[in-house]
Amino acid sequence: MTETANRNADQAELDKFSELAHRWWDPESEFKPLHDINPLRLDWIDRIAGLAGQEVLDVGCGGGILAESMAARRAKVTGIDLSDKALSVARLHLLETGQKV
């Protein structure tokens, strides 16, 4: 990470989410609230923006819960995150689901 990036990120938060990354897709884990709220936020985003055919940047995508859901609604999604471990989990989950993000 560059010096500029270090000033814009809370290393303790990055470390916390990196340690939990392997549990990202467990709907009963620490990420349960994300799983619970995902249908609501997905419907809201789709209603406001109309996801089909849109190019979407998911900043702070973590393990890809929202990114995958938007892709399932035919958005072209790019996900970025400062946690390499979370991105690895997202990529592995994409292999399991066959989604494209």
Reported as a single tens digit per residue, the pLDDT across 60-96 is: 999 999 999 999 999 999 999 999 999 999 999 999 9
Measured distance CA(17)–CA(54) in Å, rounded: 28
Higher pLDDT, 98 or 3: 98
Residue 21 structural domain:
3-97
In contact, 58 and 38? CB cutoff 8 Å? no
How confident is the model at residue 1, as a pLDDT?
44
**What CATH number is attached to the domain comprising 10?**
3.40.50.150
- Could you tell me the pLDDT band of residue 56, with boundaries at 50, 70 and 90? very high
Total domains in the chain come to 1
Is the model's pLDDT at 37 over the cut of 50? Answer: yes
Closest by CA position to 86, among listed 71, 70, 101: 101
Is the model's pLDDT at 51 over the cut of 70? Answer: yes
